[in-house]
Amino acid sequence: MEKFIELVSQPWPWWVAGPIIGLTVPALLLLGNKSFGISSSLRHICAACMPAGIPFFTYNWKKELWNLVFVLGVLIGGVIATFFLANPDAIVIAESTQRDLAALGITDYSSLMPSDIFTWENVFTAKGLLFFVVGGFLIGFGTRYAGGCTSGHAIMGLSTLQWPSLVATIFFMVGGFLMTHVFFEPLVKLVGF
């Protein structure tokens, strides 16, 4: 059991973790004709908790109960990994990235998310409102507007050869590159993080 705990607490290489994630798609399709996706679970939760007659939430959400159990498993797995299987090694960040982030005032990499940005003090400021609330809304709106999240389109949509998923994935990547290489620095300076 100790060797198993040691194995699962280490970061796995991409050539192991990637195929495991990738094989989830055909497994779901073959075992139950189910589509892999996480973002749709919010719709299922809303349909279950708020039956207000809104047409978007009026459907048999109980048929999608497996999706809610899947998301619950992801949440429980994340809690177990964080509190019981955390990797004791420092997070590795390339020196060039550290220099670029230090120029923007981001220097603490002791946790998965930089504590220079993700603190309770920042949440209750104007920049926190912009960063967390407006940014969160835009992510949620974009996910709904695109018919799924980046992972759902890139993993499930591409594997089932869906043209809209290819277009969405291309634009997710273009948007990510533009944000990283064009807009990130001016926005950080504007907001003052």
pLDDT of 75 reads 92
Give per-10-residue mean pLDDT for the chain (193 aa): 77 84 84 82 84 80 87 90 76 84 79 76 80 83 81 83 90 89 78 62
pLDDT of 193 reads 57
Name all contacts of 24-28 with Cβ < 8 Å and 24+ positions apart: 24/155, 25/155, 25/156, 25/159, 25/160, 26/159
What is the pTM for the complete model shown? 0.69
Is 145 found in the same domain as 99?
A: yes
Listed residues 89, 117, 152: the one ending a domain: 89
pLDDT of 192 reads 62
User: What are the pLDDT digits (tens) for 107-149?
Assistant: 887 777 777 777 788 778 887 788 788 888 888 888 878 888 8
Listed residues 41, 69, 89: the one ending a domain: 89
Query: Which residues form the domain of 175?
Result: 93-193
pLDDT of 174 reads 94
Is 84 found in the same domain as 121?
A: no
Is 26 found in the same domain as 113?
A: no
Listed residues 40, 57, 89: the one ending a domain: 89
pLDDT of 186 reads 81
Is 72 found in the same domain as 40?
A: yes
pLDDT of 105 reads 77
Is 158 found in the same domain as 70?
A: no
- CA 16/CA 78 separation, integer angstroms: 19
Is 193 found in the same domain as 100?
A: yes
Is 143 found in the same domain as 58?
A: no
Is 171 found in the same domain as 123?
A: yes
